[in-house]
Chains A and B, each alone.
Chain A
Amino acid sequence: MRRCAGILVLAWISLLAQNKPFQQILKSVPEKARLKRNPMADDPEATVAGQKLFEQHCAECHGKAAEGRRKAPALAGPEMQQATPGEIFWIISNGVVRHGMPPWARLPEPERWQIVTFLRSNSAQGPLAGVPEEFRLKHNPVADKPDASADGRRLFAQYCAQCHGAGAKGKGRAPNLVTTQIQYATPGELFWVITNGVTISGMPSWSQLSETQRWQIVAFLRSINAR
């Protein structure tokens, strides 16, 4: 009986310690906090100071570039860009105590806003930041086709795996494509990046592939990042 109780307590504790999806956490932010304006948004030094604070207090769990680690989710993805400054500020201040993130109200308010400024600017960078709105909302026309993902896998192995690795986990300069950032990217965003490439990081445009082939690769990427 005592052993059973012990197991139940351990199970409860391990459940509490699991990561909670970011979108779900955002839902718990009160409406009043959601609408708060960032008083540091126009401060040119806030991003740099926020990055310094992020590296000092947050990077150990979220990764230096907010890319996410086993303990804590990525904060560099589009979900961060979609969150309001007030929502991010509220989460920093209150933490997600039951899921392992401590409240950071111990930092003065202006410092917490500096972190918000950094996170917003950090998530706006990267290839997904430049995707035009009309592409962002495009649906994948092959998404419902049963073979789309398998065809995409073959195309990925042929054209992409050389840089991104066979399992899409990243290799050398090419990033990991099994991340929260890709998980939350819309199909249209992924299609746009494949079509246009990312000149600055050396990824070529794959517009020579047919539209269907590019959508098939998108379907494959979505399947390996399924939520």
Chain B
Amino acid sequence: MLQVILSQIDFLSELRYLFHGSICLSRRAGGILSIAVLSLGLLPGRSAAQESPYIVTYDHHLEEPGNLDIEYFSTFGTQADGNDFHSYWVEFEYGAFAWWTTEVYLDGQTTFHDSTIFTGFRWENRFRPLRTEHFINPVLYVEYENITDADKTLKEVEGHDVASDFAPPNSILRQTHNHELEFKLILSKDFRGFNIALNPLFVKNLAPSSPWEFGYALGVSRFLALKASPRHCNFCLENFIVGAEMYGGLGDTQNPGLHETSHYLAPVAAWNLPSGWTVRISPGFGLNDNSHRFLLRWGVSYEISGFGELLHGLFRGRS
């Protein structure tokens, strides 16, 4: 546990070096960023979040317009023929419109008995093309990733990603930078308190010779209670959602299929507090020899309502 906490402190200092030193945040900018992150929790506006419990899979529900969701996720993973790791990301999710959600991720990791490093950033956008709910609801997902090979967040598994990719030391892994475009077709349906979601995934490394890689994520979840209680309560069953998700790679254009791919199955649970906080936990299990045997993931998030209006007011000189 102490190791995990220490790794967070190392990560904050590492955040100053984006892109392996090619662009650096000054010490002052780093300080401002840290204060901004810490003070966001003190903003007055908050909204009871209704977040899905998935960590990898996406459903079709976007962030409410004008709201900012700040999320922190951790993944502890076991590593065969190498050191176990603890990876983490901070996520800023903003509802630009009811049909467009945009997110920025900052990733890092600590490999035990090795080092703590910042591994890159991602910019994600989700678009809802249809006006109303349908039998199946599609959402288009586009993400730009600027990460190194040392990124161990496992936010998605694609192509021929296997556990042994993470075995080399960080000093070697961080030398390879990847600029990738990732596309997902999010298909999702709500039915009698259940949510079922399927995300086929297509990734293109922008290096010219790289093939398209494929992957998938599948999730099912359900509220523990479908009717709200008239009481204001944190522990009412209506605040809990449980389910499971499965995700893995499907090869690439040169070698499609399940050969040399990894797959995971993970129960998931979310606790949506009326105060705007959401807590998620998910123990994941590797389904074949190419997978990490065990992943323990957890995250906390806080939703700030009216963030867009607050910014608008600041730029207009009014609060």
Contact = CB atoms under 8 A, between A and B. Distances in A.
A95 B193 CA distance: 18
Interface string A102-124: 11011111110010000000000
Contacts of A103: 61, 98, 132-133
Interface in B137-167: none
A198 interface: no
Q: Which of B59, B62, B65 has the largest number of chain A CB atoms within 10 A?
A: B65
B205 interface: no
A49 B98 contact: no
A111 B227 CA distance: 5
A193 to B, nearest CB: 31
B59 to A, nearest CB: 8
Interface in B76-133: 95, 97-99, 128, 131-133
A60 B306 contact: yes
A97 interface: yes
Where chain A touches its partner, the secondary structure class is: helix
Contact of B98 (A45, A57, A101): A101
Contacts, number: 86
Contact of A45 (B223, B226, B230): B230
Contacts of A50: 228
A173 B50 CA distance: 35
Contacts of B99: 97-98
B98 A102 contact: yes
A221 to B, nearest CB: 29
Nearest to A16: B97
Interface residues of B, number: 37
B309 A71 contact: yes
Interface residues of A, number: 32
Contact of A53 (B45, B128, B228): B228
Given A60-B305, A71-B66, A97 B131 contact: yes
Contacts of A49: 227-230
B238 interface: yes
A106 B52 CA distance: 9
Contacts of A212: none
Contacts of A136: none
Given A49-B228, A94-B133, A105 B190 contact: yes
Nearest to A13: B97
Contacts of B274: 56
Interface string A158-195: 00000000000000000000000000000000000000
A50 B309 CA distance: 26
Interface in A1-31: 13, 16-17
Given A106-B59, A110-B228, 16 more contacts: A45-B230, A49-B230, A53-B228, A56-B48, A60-B67, A93-B133, A94-B132, A95-B98, A97-B132, A98-B98, A98-B99, A101-B98, A102-B65, A103-B98, A107-B50, A111-B226
